Structure 1
Amino acid sequence: MEYSINASPKLLFPYIASASGLSQWFCDDVRLDPEHRFNMVWDKQNHYAEVAIQRPGRSIRYVFLDEHKRPQLDANYLDFTLEYSRITDEVFLRVTDYSDHTDTKEQQELWEGLVSKLREQVGG
């Protein structure tokens, strides 16, 4: 999914790559544990993830771990990529949500709501 956001990649990147930024729009709370794993909290449930790939200022991928904070085979992941179009002078947030979620319409509505919340945070 791809969303236009009226903000610079420099402003947006902390919102997709830091615990404090993610907690403002993405989930109820985000904490870093001592091993630098992200604990993303939704509905009082912990979901642990590690950063698998990061290109500063451009993209980040979170790979989710099991309940014991261990890697999984064919793990769920979220990939956020910021892209700038010189032609339209727009910034796009591309979201790749690789999960076992099967209801595509529900998933689209979820991301539209989350990105709307992000837009409110950055004024875009």
Structure 2
Amino acid sequence: MSEKKKFNIEYEIKSSPRILYGFLNEPNGLAQWFADDVNVRDQIYTFTWDGEEQKAKLLGLKEYKSVKFKWLDDEPQCFFEMEIIQDELTNDVALSVTDFAPEENIAERKLIWDNQIDYLISVLGA
């Protein structure tokens, strides 16, 4: 198994940071685009896809700015973060995603994010 590498992707999203943020950190918001079902207890989020559960610890929250998680079964240095970036001049909003994957899986992982974010954009009606 090769060492995981950090990668970053950015998506333009036509939404206010306040609305977008709810979809990044609230279980019912995340369940609308990220996973089939999401439960949270004591900073541990349980994400369910097709009946399979995966748990992530919430590492950090910045209101209307970012959410950072770590999969419990992942390597210590790995995390995934979703950060809302707003251009001060144009007010354009982007969602920046930082994640880790083995080098040979990065393209595939980016495609998964592309699909998830497309879904998020459709949920937002953006």
- Give me the TM-score of the superposition, normalised by structure 1: 0.85
Amino acid aligned to 2:70 = V
CA distance in 1, matches of 2:103, 2:46: 20
Amino acid aligned to 1:104 = I
Per-residue deviation, residues 8-65 of structure 1 (Å, max 9, x unmatched): 00010010011111110011111123x3411011221111111111111111101111
Matching residue within 57, 65, 70 for 1:58: 65
Matching residue within 11, 36, 39 for 1:31: 39
Identity %: 25
**Is 2:42 aligned against 1:40?**
no
Q: Taking CA–CA contacts closer than 8 Å with sequence separation of 6 or more, which of the two structures ends up with the larger relative contact order?
A: 2
- What residue is the counterpart of 2:5 in the other structure? none
Gaps of 5+ in 1: 67-71
Provide the secondary structure at the position in 2 that maps to 1:87: coil
CA distance in 2, matches of 1:89, 1:122: 17
Provide the secondary structure at the position in 1 that maps to 2:20: helix
Provide the secondary structure at the position in 1 that maps to 2:104: coil
**Is 2:24 aligned against 1:22?**
no
If each structure's strand is expressed as a fraction of its own residues, which one has the higher value? 2
Q: Give aligned pairs, total.
A: 118
